[in-house]
Chains A and B, each alone.
Chain A
Amino acid sequence: KAGVTQTPRYLIKTRGQQVTLSCSPISGHRSVSWYQQTPGQGLQFLFEYFSETQRNKGNFPGRFSGRQFSNSRSEMNVSTLELGDSALYLCASSWGQGADSPLHFGNGTRLTVT
């Protein structure tokens, strides 16, 4: 079974631009979550989608948004990029929620903002 696939693997953008990252979950998984990972803050929760609905949202500004499609694939968008947005963005999928539905992560998209 294929794992979580994230594209692209690497991105370089300049301040003020916007970016869209893509995630394909494991087949059969309906929940997709996004996390930002930086050396200073570690892994921080961005948002979670289930059946095309945003179910939870972390403490990030409105410049960070996402969506989920009917095939469970998900995208996240960051507008008006800032230098501090440079990070590894990780997507994770699970079939549901709770103790018997742990998250499985992709290898991330490394975003560098210059």
Chain B
Amino acid sequence: QKEVEQDPGPLSVPEGAIVSLNCTYSNSAFQYFMWYRQYSRKGPELLMYTYSSGNKEDGRFTAQVDKSSKYISLFIRDSQPSDSATYLCAKDALEGGGADGLTFGKGTHLIIQP
């Protein structure tokens, strides 16, 4: 079992909808979570990071971590066509990064229809 699981999609929603993107992880030793957005032919761009349970909000984006169920979510409000991209969740150990660096999910391809 891969340590971080993501539904690859594609997930297609109409413009203006609320988008929910989810990841599950298997190793509770990891406590630091990130969401990256990757456009075609570009590198991943950091959207949000958090190392605690609960919600963290930044503009239209909200990251949610539930450590009891090992579930990570990213919500996008008022979705725009420019949000169409692949969204990657990642985790890291709190101390020292660990021998494996960041562990990424394979990404969810999101399409916002105008």
Contact = CB atoms under 8 A, between A and B. Distances in A.
Nearest to B31: A99
B29 interface: no
A98 B50 CA distance: 11
Q: Which of B46, B97, B100, B105 has the most CB of A within 10 A?
A: B97
Nearest to B97: A97
B101 A90 contact: no
Contact of B44 (A6, A48, A90, A99): A90
Interface string B89-114: 01010111111111111110000000
Interface stretch (A13-21, A78-86, A104-112): A104-112
B96 A97 contact: yes
B97 A98 contact: yes
B88 interface: yes
Interface residues of B, number: 28
B97 A56 contact: yes
Given A4-B43, A107-B42, A108-B43, A45 B100 contact: yes
Contacts, number: 70
B60 interface: no
A103 interface: yes
A56 B99 contact: yes
Contact of B46 (A43, A90, A102, A107): A102
B28 to A, nearest CB: 16
Contact of A57 (B44, B49, B99): B99
Interface string B48-77: 010100000000000000000000000000
B34 interface: yes
Given A99-B94, A104-B46, A56 B104 contact: no
Interface of B: 32, 34, 36, 41-46, 49, 51, 88, 90, 92, 94-107
18 contacts: A33-B101, A42-B107, A43-B90, A43-B104, A45-B101, A56-B97, A56-B100, A58-B99, A90-B43, A90-B44, A97-B97, A98-B32, A98-B94, A98-B95, A99-B92, A102-B34, A103-B34, A107-B42
